[in-house]
Amino acid sequence: MPYYTVSFIDGFRRNMNEPMINCGQRRNITKAPYSGKIYCVEVPDHVIYVRRNGKPVWCGNTISVAKAGITATLQCRCSLLGAANPKYGRFEQNQYIADQINMPPALLSRFDLIFALTDKPSAERDANITAHILKTHRRGQIKKYEDPGVLEGVDVEGIMSDTKTVEPALDREFFRKYVAYAKRINPVLSDDAMKLISDFYLKIRKQGEGEGASVPITARQLEAFVRLSEASARARLSRIATVEDAQRAIRIVEYYLRKIAGEGDRLDFDIIATGTSHSQREQITILKDLIGSLLRSGDGVDPRRGVSGDMLFKAAADRGITEDRAKTLLRRLSQNGEIYSPSSGFYKLTSEG
């Protein structure tokens, strides 16, 4: 039977925690390719000293990630939760989420789920939240006293009884054991679950067929369906991901896509992946063509100052682009360096000087 020896070296050579590498005081640590099983343990500081094929190795169970300009060191097989506040403090329902947060589209598109958390005032809900926060805060303060009897004029028993519902439904130790046990389960998709995911994915993809059509969904969402289905089964401690698990995953992904990447009855994942929808790209092309054609026509246009905003907005309205949308797209074109303003309220194409 294989056996493992773990040695803790503390206080070696004065106050340094330093291991003895090899024999005869040699310290020739080298990197070497390795294939085979790797056994993981968890220690308080997440760093452990082991030997692989007789070679000493410091292990930290981490992985380095460099994506979309962001470099980070993460725990292996971890989930990543990203949070971003809107640029102007509040989410606007009629604007794309990619325009409202300073997160690059290349990074945003890598998340399985994306939700906008909004705070909408409601008298009944606000009253319930207020009561809950104040009651739980008072309960926490009372529990700091070894003898709550010293709090004269406070109904300690009534407060503790009234806030009994804030105690967790599951014991902390039990929940830890449940999570630890669930991690050992690796669910497998059933045939019916796999067919359901495949049929739904292909149905959405079909919306993107045709010349110049947008991409409604990508393979990343297909992988999200699989991961969420397996997570649903793992939460049930089931080794098989059933149709019900697949349906739950589809409902969640479809819901967030409708909210984040929906344009009418269609989905356009380019809103997340590139920050620009298919309709926006068409309107950007129209605006650039209008600026170019108006400059070349010279009808009422000052060649030195460029096309006036009023003239451009009127021409854009005839092509179905509202003034607010035109202003938004012009700001984006200016930020990208495709147009510039020789004078306030006038526009010229960078390519034409």
Least confident span in 62-76, 101-115, 158-172, 276-290: 62-76
Q: Which residue has the higher pLDDT, 314 or 58?
A: 314
Last residue of a domain, one of 273, 307, 323: 273
**86 inside domain:** no
Q: Is the pLDDT of residue 4 over 90?
A: no
Among 1-5, 35-39, 87-91, the range scoring the smallest mean pLDDT is 1-5
Residues 18 and 54 in one domain: yes
268 and 284 belong to one structural domain: no
Distance between CA atoms of residues 217 and 267, nearest Å:
7
Pick 233 or 321 by higher pLDDT.
233
**Paired residues of 73 in beta bridges:** 64
97 falls within a domain: no
Q: Which of 22-26, 103-107, 140-144, 252-256 has the lowest mean pLDDT?
A: 22-26
The radius of gyration computed from the CA coordinates of the chain, to the nearest angstrom, equals 30
CA distances (Å), origin 16, targets 11, 19, 20, 49, 231 = 6, 9, 12, 15, 43
Of 20, 44, 60, which one is at a domain's C-terminal end? Answer: 60
State the pLDDT at residue 250.
92
Number of domains within the chain: 4
Instruction: Select from 255, 8, 208, 239 the least CA-distant residue to 112.
Output: 255
Q: Do the domain assignments include residue 224?
A: yes
43-47, 165-169, 203-207, 265-269: range with lowest mean pLDDT? 43-47
Residue 74 in domain: no
| Averaged confidence pLDDT in the chain | 76
pLDDT at 134 over 80: yes
Tell whether 257 and 287 lie within a shared domain: no
**Mean pLDDT (whole number) for 115-119:** 81
Are the CB atoms for 214 and 268 separated by under 8 Å?
A: yes
Q: Are residues 206 and 163 in the same domain?
A: no
pLDDT at 182: 92
- pLDDT-derived band at 11 (thresholds 50, 70, 90) equals very low
From 44, 60, 76, give the residue that closes a domain: 60
Asked if residue 81 belongs to a domain, the reply is no
pLDDT in tens, 236-282: 999 999 999 999 999 998 888 877 776 666 666 666 666 666 677 77
What is the structure's pLDDT at 333? 81
**Does residue 263 lie within any of the structural domains?**
yes
Give, as one character, the DSSP assignment of residue 302.
B
- What pLDDT, in 10s, does the model give residues 286-305? 888 888 888 787 776 777 77
- Whether residue 129 has pLDDT greater than 60: yes
Which pLDDT value is given to residue 164? 78
Q: Is residue 161 part of a domain?
A: yes
Calpha distance 112→120 (Å, rounded): 25
| Residue 56 falls inside a structural domain | yes
Angle between helices 278-297 and 309-318 (to 10 degrees): 120
* Residues 143, 196 within the same domain: no
CATH number of the CATH domain containing 209:
1.10.8
- Same-domain status, 303 and 336: yes
Say how far apart CA 213 and CA 324 lie, in whole Å: 25
Residue of 328, 195, 214, 210 lying closest to 267 (CA atoms): 214
Range of the domain at 333: 278-352
pLDDT tens column, 78-88? 677 777 788 77
Same domain assignment for residues 216 and 142: no
249 and 304 both lie in a single domain: no
**Do 209 and 216 touch, CB atoms closer than 8 A?**
no
